[in-house]
Every structure is written in structure tokens, then in C-alpha cells.
Copies of this chain bind each other. A is one copy, B any other.
Amino acid sequence: MSGELFTLTYGSLVAQLLKDYENVDDVNRQLERMGYNIGMRLIEDFLARANPGRCYDLRDTADKIQQAFKLYLGVSPSIGSWNPGGDEFSIVLETNPMAEFVELPDHCLGLRYSNILAGIIRGACEMVQMEVMVWFIADQLKGDNVTEIRIKFVKRLEDAIPAVAEEAEVQSAVKPPSSTRASPCWSGFRTEDRDSQRPHCSAHRVE
């Protein structure tokens, strides 16, 4: 599948949100929330398709995220800039396919155009029992040389139903799967039975 249609459709989504919300901070928040809900579903597909195996530490997780970028966006980011404590790293994109063909006008400089990615990473990690913080520290749309996303490990979650995003009406389009969590990669369970779970988790309602 070609990415151009995705890029243009994402552009329509961002434009619609800019039309809907009064300020770009709300748009940023909304994009992150949408991403969070998408990430909670996308992890299912990733585990089923990429068969990534266990993650023994955060470096393994970083490798899986790199693999997911390749699978879903067709780009291979580099991973690096680990902090001394080893609980924080960067994903660096030389080119960001989400933002191709986009220019931000002056009144949108506060917009984190690709913020859906931050939400997707957070949502996907949460489904495998990892709470993370995700934020952009460089963005080519704002004149930086690369696009850099920072990820910080916060804590390991106990097996429980994931937090529901604040705005139920938005979330409903991309509901969390009806099971509690995806079978965890992080916590060491095996993922071979992903396919058997998919039909159960793959329908969602748009309302």
C-alpha cells in the first residue's frame, strides 16, 4: 500500500481538528488521544503480524518500536540518545512520512502536527503493561534537521483494564479491544496465540 493516501487523509484529519478547536494545544491533545486509542488497537495487529517475541528490557522495546515504524510507516528511524539511567531514549526520523507535503503557516507554529504518533506509542506500550511518556523534541516542520520523539519509561503496569480516554465519544471510534490487555510482550508472556484472539478484538463501532 502506498503511503500518500494515508498522508493526505491524516492531513484532512488535522485540518478538521484545527477547524473544530479553538487553539492548537487542544488540537495537540486531541491528536494524542486519538493516537492513544489507535495504539491500543494497533498493538494487536503488530503482535500478530511481526511476531516480535519477548522484550526483556527497554532496549528490546525500543527495537520493537523501530520495527513498528518500518511496518506501519515504511521508514526506519534510528534509536539512540539513551539517558544514563537507561530509561529514556529517542526515536529519530530522517524523514517523517506523516508530514510530507505539509508546511505549517505562522499561526500554527505551536501545532505538533504528528502528535498522533506520540499517542500511538503510548497506547501501544500501555497495552503491553508499560506506562511511558512520549513527546516530540525536534520536528522538521519547525525547521529542525530531524524529527525526534523522546520516550521515557515510567512504570510497569499491573494487568488491569487500561485507562479510558477522557472523551468517550471520540474514543468510541477506536475502542480498546474487548479483552483487557493484549497479551504482554513486556511482561514475558509468549505471543503465539495472538491470531486466535484477533477476531474477538477486531470489530469496533463508530458512533
Chain B residues whose CB sits within 8 angstroms of the CB of A18 once the complex forms: 173, 206-207
Q: Known: A11-B174, A101-B203, A108-B206. Is A169-B6 also a contact (CB below 8 A)? A: no
| Residue of B with least CB distance to A33 | B12
Cβ of A161 within 8 Å of any chain B Cβ, yes or no, is no
Q: For the complex formed by this chain, how many copies does it contain in all?
A: 2
13 other A-B residue contacts (CB within 8 Å) besides A1-B73, A15-B170: A1-B3, A1-B72, A2-B71, A4-B45, A6-B6, A11-B204, A15-B173, A16-B34, A18-B206, A19-B169, A102-B206, A104-B205, A111-B206
Q: Known: A5-B6, A42-B5, A207-B18. Is A101-B11 also a contact (CB below 8 A)? A: no
Chain B residues whose CB sits within 8 angstroms of the CB of A3 once the complex forms: 1
Chain B residues whose CB sits within 8 angstroms of the CB of A110 once the complex forms: none
- A204 and B6 contacting across the interface, CB-CB below 8 Å: no
Chain A interface bracket (under 10, 10 to 19, 20 to 34, 35 or more) = 35 or more
Q: Known: A11-B173, A207-B108. Is A6-B17 also a contact (CB below 8 A)? A: no
Chain B residues whose CB sits within 8 angstroms of the CB of A102 once the complex forms: 203-206
Write out, one digit per residue, whether chain A residues 97-113 have a CB within 8 A of any chain B CB (1) or not (0): 00011111101100101
